[in-house]
Structure 1
Amino acid sequence: MCELPFTISLHEGFGDSHLDLFLDIDGISRLITFGTVASNWPLLQNGTSIPFQRKKDHRRDYLDLEGEIEGKGRLRILFRGSAKAYSIPENVSGWTELTASIKDGTLTL
């Protein structure tokens, strides 16, 4: 098992509202990014396992980015910390989807 710094952000004002999960797999590379519909946030908070789909990797500054993004809506950070993944970081970078849940304040992938 490994722990990966992450942020879950609500992205509004650019298409349908959705959640972006930004994962930092090595402290250097672009952020591995996954998304799901915004309506999954309450379910995720209550411990339900939610599927996320791979998106285009994002710049590292998205890990802490909050506010307006010119021409792309706005981000609000909902949850951050270190996610527990039952895989090694190199494998995570190849994932096209994942299932995540929050239990006892910990995001598990």
Structure 2
Amino acid sequence: MGINENDTIIDFHGLLSIHMPPYYNAIIEGVSTIMHVVSFSSWNGVKLHANHFLVADFLKNNRLKFKGFIISDWEGLEKLTNPRNSDKRLSVKLGVLPGIDMVSI
């Protein structure tokens, strides 16, 4: 069992081989909405809601070419600033620029 809002320390190959298979399968089957690529967790210190490499480069544009809709986790953007929700504009910018299509607040 995992830890909620944890920081997964793993190289890219490990991330792909351990955590990505369910996403590959879902995208192949035609899923149109993804939420938990952007979660409260982090990958190597980068919050997933603001991870441009995983959301924009890997999921949407270059590798998987996902054309569907990406939804943030509930109040996920608020956790991008410290203290929490201290800069709403920055939080939205950090989440939307990587490719989140709908923000859950």
TM range (shorter): under 0.3
Task: Judging by fraction of residues, say which structure has more strand.
Answer: 1
TM-score (norm: length of structure 1): 0.27
TM-score (norm: length of structure 2): 0.27
